[in-house]
Amino acid sequence: MAEQLNKIVDTIGGLSLADRSTSHCSNPTQTLVKTIWELVKSCQSTSANAAHVGTVIEGTQTPSGQDIATLSSLRKEAVALKQITKNLSDATENYIIAYIISLAGPWTLEQKMLLHFSDEVRRIIRNVLDDANTDDSSVVRKILEKCYDQSLRASGTLHPAEYFDSLEEASLEEPYDPDFESEEYYEYENRLAIDDSYADALRVQCERRAEREQQQREEWIGFWVRALGQCPDEPTTLFYSPANSLLNFHLAEVPRYLFRAFDDASSGWSDNHIVASAESRTAISERSRTDLLSRSRGKITRMLYSHLKKSLFGAEDTDNLMSWSSSLMFVIQYAIWRCNKRRCDPSEVKICMVDTRKFPRGQFARDKSLLRAYRDAPELDENRRRFFDFRLKDPKYDNGEYLSQGVLHHAGRSSVVSLEQLIHAGLYDLYPEFRDPASRNLWTNRVGSLRLAWSNEHTTTQLDLRSAVKVAGKCFDNFNALDIALVLLSFKERKLRTPATKAPQQQRNSHDFGPVEVQRYTTIIEDMMAKARGIPIALRGFTADSQLEEIFECS
């Protein structure tokens, strides 16, 4: 087994990802994969044998001196394996780093920055590999997502500011004598004071340098966006438009939860693992990895219009978008409508719920942000412009729609439940209005009438609390039941024990998230966090049903 480990370490070390060649053999990838799978089987067998031997040793009542020599030999081999295992671990990390560097062109800014941040990238790789919850097929995606996140955050370990700061520090002349100022320094200061043209030229130079650094920052972030799109097993297409600061701002404003109803007749493909666009399912699926915002404005406006106006039971092969809603109430009524329209069993209509905090920024984009950004595009004809304006100006039909692109891998970050499960868990007990047979053939208008009926302040009963917790606990097993119960209870305007207050910024944010029921939930959560001085109590998870009683006035 030690020989196999050493062989793998040597093979990995001999690979060159830049040219996909090796000095060891003509087909290194095939050899490496074959050797790895042989070793995996050996490791599994060795682990089982080691566990058995350990159990026997611990259970031996009368130790024999004759066994000590054998155990000593076993221990030596185990110690040797430990070092080889470390070498293999290091080789794996080096291989992944080499793969990431290979995604950047030679002698490019991205390659230089990757080399500068190699230690930080290695730490991210190690953390992902050490995470027992990481699925092997998701390793590359998770590593790239975390690198992308760290490049975006102002305090992130891969934020480009640290790279440029290091360059500036390196450019300072050494050694420096604080007691000495050269004549050139005084001449420079004097020219700044008396020579306006010199000062203007210096200002222009500084502005150009700042613009160049900003462009390079965008190139660095864009590198990670492109890298995610090239994931071999789980490609991720993000909305990314560095040239449009307004759009970027709105992309960051995504509510905690998004929902999507689907069945076998839905466009694209949706299941317990992925949500994939129609374009990603075609023979030219590679095109689905192209970000909407990097396409021509004509293609952007056509795709937006065609997606938002499409049939609810299909889509064009060129449609790379999939719809989500921030309103669970809206999605539940949509699921009821689809079930009635198709005359199918409630078990056939599913609802997917995702936690957007577990996805990279740009995974979801607000439909209104995109419509607002492109409604004045010259490529937009009058018919489409009227449709864009209608979607933007009529709040009655704003159901908090968000869009994703290409293939979205949501397993481990989601929960999928059928309409049947919701009903059996007590949805109709909590909201009997959803049971109304006469309203099953209605959708958006029905949602509008429910919002109006539930807009007056209601008193919450203990039965309401229990029903909401029961539905949440039985149906959304990957999420905190009491947090999801709060989402369900927010369908209605309910009397609160202490009225929640919103700062102007919070009010704008929650309004951007969509309909009133989403705003209610967001306001309550943000109010709880503010009262806890920023400690995310609700987002961390409720600890007892009694916390709901502390929020709502109950009868």
The per-residue pLDDT for range 443-455, each reduced to its tens digit, is 999 999 999 999 9
Helix, strand, or coil (residue 371): helix
Torsion of CA 476, 479, 480, 486, to 10 degrees: -60
Q: Is 46 left (phi over 0), alpha (psi -120 to 50) or beta?
A: alpha
Cβ–Cβ contacts within 10 Å for residue 136, how many?
8
Give Cα 484 to chain centroid, integer Å: 20
CA torsion, ordered 413, 415, 416, 419, to nearest 10 deg: -150
**In whole angstroms, what is the distance from residue 537 CA to residue 527 CA?**
11
Closest Cα to residue 153, out of 247, 211, 96, 224?
224
pTM, 2 dp: 0.81
In sequence order, which residues have a C-beta less than 8 Å from that of residue 146 and are 6 or more positions away? 124, 127, 128
For residue 158, pLDDT beyond 70: yes
Please report which confidence band the pLDDT of residue 277 belongs to, taking 50, 70 and 90 as the band edges: very high
Report the first-to-last Cα separation within the chain, whole angstroms: 68
Say if CB 539 and CB 525 are below 8 A apart.
yes
| Residue 465's pLDDT band (cuts 50, 70, 90) | very high
CB 350 within 8 A of CB 476: no
Question: Quick one: what percent of the chain has pLDDT higher than 70?
Answer: 81
Judge whether residue 321 has pLDDT over 90. Answer: yes
Provide the mean pLDDT of the chain: 83
- Which parts of 15-117 fold into alpha helices (H)? 28-59, 66-102, 109-116
pLDDT digits (tens, 9 = 90+) for 10-27: 555 555 444 444 444 456
The candidate with the shortest Cα–Cα distance to 306, out of 276, 280, 342, 267, is 267
Q: pLDDT tens digit string along 357-387?
A: 999 999 999 999 999 889 888 888 899 999 9
pLDDT, position 497: 87
Q: What are the structure tokens assigned to 477, written together? A: 């097993």
The pLDDT of residue 21 is: 41
Domain range list for the chain: 2-54+70-152, 245-438, 454-551
Looking at residue 264, what is its pLDDT?
Answer: 94
Which pLDDT does position 319 carry in this prediction?
A: 94
Helix (H, G, I), strand (E, B) or coil at 58: helix
Is residue 166 very low, low, confident or very high in pLDDT (cuts 50, 70, 90)?
Answer: confident
| Strands across the sheet containing 274-276 | 269-270, 274-276, 407-409
Give the tens place of pLDDT for each residue, 214-260: 888 889 999 999 999 988 878 889 988 765 545 554 565 899 999 99
The pLDDT assigned to 190 comes to: 58
The one-character DSSP state at 510 is: H
Confidence at 534, pLDDT banded by 50, 70, 90: low
Q: Which residue has the higher pLDDT, 524 or 186?
A: 524
Least confidently predicted of 25-29, 77-81, 175-179: 175-179
Q: What mean pLDDT do residues 148-177 have?
A: 78
- Average pLDDT of the segment spanning 388-408: 91
pLDDT band at 415 (very low <50, low <70, confident <90, very high): very high
What is the model's pLDDT at position 511?
61
- The fraction of the chain above a pLDDT of 90, given in percent, is 49
What would the mean pLDDT of 68-88 be, rounded to a whole number?
Answer: 81
Lowest mean pLDDT among 189-198, 361-370, 494-503: 189-198
- Position with higher pLDDT, 26 vs 284: 284
Q: What is the pLDDT of residue 171?
A: 59
Alpha-carbon distance values, 68 to 74, 76, 82, 278, 467 (Å): 10, 12, 21, 65, 63
Predicted local distance difference test score (pLDDT) of residue 231: 87
